Structures are given as C-alpha cells and as structure tokens.
Structure 1
Amino acid sequence: MTGPGRLAGRVVAVTGGGHGIGLETARRLARAGARVAIGDLDGAAARTAAAELPGDVAGLALDVTDTASFAAFIDAVEERWGPVDVLVNNAGVMWAGGFADEPESAAARQLDVNLHGVIRGVKLAAPRMWARGRGHIVTIASAASKLSPPGEATYAATKHGVYGYLKGVRAELRGTGVRLSVIMPGVVDTELAAGTATGAVRLLAPADVARAVHAVIVRPRFEVSLPGRIGPLADWANVLPQRVRDLLFRALVPDQVRAVAGTSARTAYQARRLTGGDDD
C-alpha cells in the first residue's frame, strides 16, 4: 500500500514543513520519490530542511495567514515542477491553559493559522486541481476535531471548524476528481504539545502521522484517526446520555489545564509561536 513507486514523481507541497510533523512528512514523502516543497514561516528552516532531505526537495518561505504569500508559494512550486498533486495543510499552533487566561492575541493567532490557514489552502489549491480533474488535499487536524480537552478550548474550536469546513467542501467537490482527507492524531511528541498530557492513549511520534499521510495519499479516504479507535469512540459516545458521556470523556481525555499548571514547559513555545509563527 505504501510502496515508494506509488508516489514517484508526484508534486507535494507541505505547509509548516520546517519542523515536527511537517518535516517528518516531507522526509517520508521525499524518500518515497515525491518532489516535495517545504513551506514554512521560517524560510531559513525550510531551506535547511530541504537541503538535508533526500531527493528533489525545495524549501520556501510561506505565511499561511497571508493569501498573497500562500498563492506565491503554490505558484513557485508549479513553476518549478508543474501542478501540485498533493497539498498537505499542516501548519498549526496551540495555546494550552484555562480559557479565561488565554490572551486574545493567542486565540486570534490560532484561528488565523489553524482554521483560516486551512481555508486559504483549500481555496487556492482546490480550484486548480478541479480544473485538471485531479488532486488531493490532506489536512493535519487533531483528535480535538471531535473531542474538546479542558485547556484546549480555542484550539479544539479551530479543529472542529476545520473538520466541518472540509466535510462541506468535500460534498461540493464530489465527482470533480479532487479528494480531501483529514488526519486526526492524538497528542504528538512535538514542541506544540510540550508539557501537555496524552490522556488514555500513548504519545505519538511525528513519524506516526507522516506514515498516515503517506498511506492516505496512496489509498485515499476522508477520515483517519490516530490511534484508530479515537474517532469511532468519539462518534459512538455521542449516542450516550450526557452524564455518562461526561464520565467517559473525563476518564479518557487529557485535562490540559491540570497538565500545564505550574510548569514553564510551554513558556518559550507560546511566546514564540503565538506571536508570529506557525509550526506543527
């Protein structure tokens, strides 16, 4: 299912690709033979990553909160290699802590990167793919697309929004040859998740998510949960009475307010990424 030949020569653009999940995804797809463009707000990090990866890889500056920047990124990729076959919407940021303590600027930043950034990517890439009758947009969302951990209220809101947006656009694109996929992992071992808890599931590695992206490109489907039981469990729980559902989620879903209380593990990340950066 995931043999290298299935991706050989495909043009793939990855947002937030200079670090974490995006970088690991770029690495895996490049090794599989894809021509990969890494876009990141930190253009130097994107170029450094591209130089270190195998195969045909380019690093470009990209601000997913700016439509002109995003359009220029896609244009540059197409000028270099031709039409983008796959766009991986990966860039994202997260503030963790009590909702009343979250700075307004942090909430606005999450909405602009996590939600509006995905919408921009879809609006810029999907019409070009539609015109060609083929293409695939893979979005890295989160288990928080269906769950709402305490301490991640705004982040969960952005991921719920991403999931809902993609469901609507998918219906509009039916029959056009353009596919949409959404990857919904639990907590992944990246800077974004520093100091947070994993709840009842194991901590994932960026390579786990990269593997899922590779697999869904080779064999497309709309929803992918990591671990696989999270999505179905969240869907099933919605049929339970509210009191029972609350007890279940309290036992399984991490309480990030409690996890980050009294720790400085997120201080540097939140100061840097929520005041003008995107990462995944």
Structure 2
Amino acid sequence: MNAPVNLKGKVAAVTGGANGIGREIARALAQAGAKVAIGDLDGEAARLTAEALTAAGLDGAVFGVELDVTSSSSFAGFLATAEARLGPVDVLVNNAGVMWVGPFDAEPEAAAERQITVNLLGVIRGVKLAAPAMVARGSGHIITIASASSILTTPGEASYSAGKHGVLGYLKAVREELHRSPVQLSVIMPAVVDTALAAGTGTGAAKLLQPADIAAAVLATIDRPRFEVTIPAYIGPLMRFINVLPGQVRDLLMRQLVPNQVREVDRGARATYEAQFGEPD
C-alpha cells in the first residue's frame, strides 16, 4: 500500500472549487495537509464549501472567494489573495469548466463562446499568471483538469472537445518552453464524471467516474508528477494503439467505445444546467 500523500506546508489554489470535482479536489488537498484557496464564479458557494471543509476538521486551512477565470484581473486577484493569506502558491489546479451538449448546428453561439472562454482561455490565463512566479521561486506544479475529450472524438460535444483539445495542445507547447525549469505541468483527462456538468450524458464503454476518483488522481500526480494522466488509465494506451490502425477500423472502434451524445443525451436532465447558455439560435 502506498503511503498517504503529505502536503503539509504546501499551498494549493483550485478554480471551480465550490462543487463537484473541484470540491473533492479541495477536500483531498486539505486532507493531505495543504492550505487551500477555493475560487469559484459563485463566491458564496466557495465560501460555504470552505467553511464546510474547515468544520470537517481537515488538516489544512481552507478559504473560498469569488473567481471569474474569464477575467485576468479576477484570476490575478485570486492568486494574490491566496498568497497573502496562505503563502506562495505551490500547486494551481485549473478545474473550472462548462459544457453544452447537442448537435453542433443547434449549439447557441453563447454556449460555444462560453466554453472556449472558460475551458481554454481560462486555463491559458491561469498558466500565464501562475507559472512565471513558480519559475522565479524554482518550484511549482500546475495541474489542469481537462477531459478524455482532449484525445477522443465525441459527437455532441464539438465545442467542448475543441476547447479540451486546445488545452492539451497549449500545455504541450508550454511544457517544452519550461523543460529546463523545475515547474511541473500535468493534464488529467477523465472520462465522464458524475457531476452537474455531465448530467444526462452517456458514458460509452467506460464506467461512470466519481469526483473522488479525480481528486485521488490529483494527489497521485502531485506525489509522482506526470504530464498526461487519463482516467481510467487504459484510455491513453488504448488511444495510442487505435491511432495506428487504418482509418475505417479506427472509426469503427471509436464508435463502439465513445458515446454519441447527440443520440444518448437526456435533454431533460440537462435543462437546469444548460439554462446558463440560453436558447439555441
């Protein structure tokens, strides 16, 4: 059995940390002894989550504030507040994300823009703001929660997939720029996770994951840094194998393994979540 990860004295900042995956990541980090700053667009929810984690008697100090990852000033303020209250940020977890599901030609323009702005530009913003300070200090780790959609073909999630593919491409390029520095970059790419973001979607051949599965992967990645992490772990090697197959065989296998969200989505189950994007054009 592996020894528990000890993050005593470390400072972590988690975006989109009020609910779902982000909340579990914050919980796991604090349980491991880290001091944790939770940022979320819903500032009150972030504060309530921090209070709940503190009341649970976790080892690390936790606080929550409002954070809009689409605003550079908001993101910079979040990191500055974390440093002022807890100390220099050792680990940034880029977790904030949104997803619209349905046919590409029925997607509201606002939904496409929101997904790219939050899911891709939010990550870019976080890396730009956090990495230089980490490089100057000589240490730091930026972990981005992307998606298996970064490497899979996922019908019904065109703009979401575009953003997640972009995240992986961006981090690959930045990793090369930082290869002589001690700063670590990691991208965690899970299959479907049981959260509001994925409500009503199919899982394909993979089992439905829980937020705690992603939190455990974050701790394991801090303990033993790796760049690309897929959950389940077999997705990475499987995709490398599939990608060397002839095109027709590759397409056939992908259609068996990956859910077609256009056909499988339960629109009623997603109605409350997707109200944030407005009605289709």
TM-score, normalising length: structure 2: 0.95
Determine whether 1:112 maps to 2:93: no
Residue 7 of structure 1 contacts residue 218 of structure 1 at CA under 8 Å; is this kept in 2?
A: no
| Counterparts of 1:256 and 1:196, CA distance in 2 | 6
1:269 aligns with 2:270: no
1:260 paired with 2:265, answer: yes
Corresponding letter in the other structure for 1:40: D
Unaligned runs of 5+ in 1: 276-280
**Structure 2 matches for 1:83-232, cutoff 5 A?**
83-232=88-237
Distance in 1, matches of 2:71 and 2:81, equals 15
Contact kept in structure 1, 2:134 and 2:183, CA below 8 Å: yes
1:66 to 38, 63, 71: 71
Matches of 1:40 and 1:153, distance apart in 2: 25
Gaps of 5+ in 2: none
Query: What TM-score does the superposition give when structure 1 sets the normalisation length?
Result: 0.95
Residues 2 and 46 from structure 1, CA distance in 2 versus in 1: closer, same or farther, beyond 3 angstroms? farther
Structure 1 residue 80: deviation in Å?
Answer: 0.8
Which residue number in structure 1 is paired with residue 4 of structure 2? 3
Q: Secondary structure at the match of 1:29?
A: helix
Take 2:65 and 2:264, find their aligned partners in 1: how far apart are those partners?
Answer: 36
Displacement over 4 Å in runs of 4+:
none
1:149 and 1:158 map into 2 onto residues whose CA distance is: 12
CA positional deviation for 1:2: 5.4
Name the structure 2 match of 1:42.
Answer: 42
CA RMSD after TM alignment = 1.0
**Aligned match of 2:62:** 57
Counterpart code for 1:150: P
In the aligned structure 1, how far is the partner of 2:175 from the partner of 2:109?
32
Cα distance, 1:109 vs. partner?
0.1
2:228 and 2:248 mapped to 1: Cα distance?
28
Count of paired positions: 272
Counterpart contact for 1:2–1:214, Cα < 8 Å? no
Partner Cα separation in structure 2 for residue 76 and residue 41 of structure 1: 15
> 2:25 maps to which residue?
25
Deviation at 1:238, TM superposition (A): 1.1
SS in 1 for 2:245: coil
Q: Tell me if the contact between 2:153 and 2:254 (Cα under 8 Å) persists in the aligned partners.
A: no
Q: Which has the bigger relative contact order, CA under 8 A and spacing at least 6?
A: 1
Q: Percent sequence identity over matched residues? A: 64
